[in-house]
Amino acid sequence: MTSMPSIAEIARGPWSTATWFGPEGEATLAGVPLVRIAQQFGTPAYVLDETDVRLRCRTYRTALPGAEIAYAAKAFLCRAMADWMRAEGLSLDVCSGGELAVALSAGFPAERIIFHGNAKTTHELQTAVTEGVGRIVIDNLAEISRLAALVPLGRRQKVLIRVIPDITAGAHAAVRTGREDQQFGLSIATGAAGDAVARVLAQPALQLAGLHCHLGSQITTALPYEAAARVMVEQMARIRETHGVVLPELDLGGGHGIPYLQGEQGLEVTGFAQRLTTAVEERCAGLGLPLPRLIVEPGRAISGPAGLTLYRVIAVKKGLDRTYVAVDGGMSDNPRHALYGSPYEARLIGRRSQGGMRDVTVVGHHCETGDTLAEGVPLPADVHPGDLIAVAATGAYHHSMASTYNLTGRPPVVAVGPSGPRLIVRREEPEDLMRRDVGL
């Protein structure tokens, strides 16, 4: 059994805390050779370090002992992951009926679930109410009356209202959700947020528990969160002045960044927690407002560095200006480079290289010019077909965003824990794809 790493170790880079690389090409995760995992489960394969996931959960709970930590399930969710979150005392943030169904099927307590979404269907809302979901996040005005009509007589459904703090943060324009003029949340500037508060308070079937905001993704500094905290506390004070209601909860969302390359820095959790709580305490004191209970929603920061992906090299092709290393996966199992230009670190594993290093472009096997996994990646000059490559920090937004493009089945997820490797999501085979095809 491997020992639990210290909290200080979790920020050391894009690989999980229990990943080790040796001088002869050896590579292990929690003592298990990655070559053995590839032989047993095939490639491509996602590999997830259970101990690392649990440590990151505990890091958040230690840094924010009075707060509610809700894992953002959209980063990566399966039944095993939901069970780990339950055991570690976290809540769960879901944003679809499918994510809710997986969580409930794993026995996750419904009262510890927060249901997000800017366009939740009536069926999703009905399921959330019926199952007793703890809080539903109101994201548009029409949702208020639709939700209230679904709540049984004599019950009250707790809700949060998602507010736009008009703060720009995030690594890419496509993932900046805290600014005006995007599809998430209700605007303070237009009066929609204030209108939503009044409408919820007028509904006997709804109980306004607090406010919510989310700034974006892959944020690596605490500054935007401090600014958002001040804006949100001011809104809570305005609600008290207008309606005489003191809201008990303040959800400041997630989007906490991680390193994808050596030398990069993710959001340092302890420092973030200290600065966030100080910002809330100071603004509440200045406005004479009781301290709300904080909620934060890390997703990528918990599962991202805990994961890696194993690929088999299929071909090496030298072009005029680049060398292409083609592998047996691609944009169907990792669309992030195609979507955001995201960088990745890759390593040759399983043998010692006899040559120097050179920069290559790692591409997939799909019929798509944009099927690139990483550009300018240093790999040994003698990389050849049959070699194994490990790509770091793929535990978030890889399996969850995977597709069956070119009718390629999605890879399995292998968890490595104290008892060794085990399959937690099986590989999608052609037979699985055929089951959906009803025929001529």
Cβ atoms within 10 Å of 320's Cβ, excluding its own? 4
| C-beta contacts of 273-281 below 8 A and 24+ residues apart | 273/60, 273/63, 273/64, 273/67, 274/63, 275/222, 275/225, 275/226, 276/64, 276/222, 276/225, 276/226, 276/229, 276/252, 277/64, 279/225, 279/226, 279/229, 279/230, 280/229, 280/233, 280/250
Encode 171-198: b = buried (16+ Cβ within 10 Å), e = exposed. beeebbbbbeeeebbbbbeeebbbebbe
d(CA 217, CA 298): 10
DSSP string, 239-305: HHHHH-----EEE----B---SSTT-----HHHHHHHHHHHHHHHHHHHT-PPPEEEE--SHHHHST
Catalytic, 284? Answer no
Interaxial angle between packed helices 192-201 and 141-150, expressed in degrees from 0 to 180 and rounded to the nearest 10: 20
Contact present, 409 and 85 (Cβ < 8 Å): no
Rounded CA separation 374/367 (Å) = 17
Residue with tokens 């992030």: 336
Residue whose C-alpha is closest to residue 299's, from 43, 14, 94: 94
Left if phi > 0, otherwise alpha if psi is -120 to 50, otherwise beta: which for 330? left
**Which one from 57, 78, 95, 367 is the annotated catalytic residue?**
367
Helix (H) or strand (E) holding 228: helix 223-243
Q: What is the DSSP letter of 195?
A: H
Residues contacting residue 333 through CB under 8 Å, at least 6 positions apart:
44, 46, 309, 398, 399, 402, 410, 411
Residues forming beta bridges with residue 19, ordered by sequence position: 29
Torsion of CA 127, 132, 133, 135, to 10 degrees: 120
Environment class of 244 (CB within 10 Å of its CB; exposed 0-12, middle 13-18, buried 19+): exposed
Q: Name residue, tokens 């008009």.
A: 166
Which residues are known catalytic residues? 367
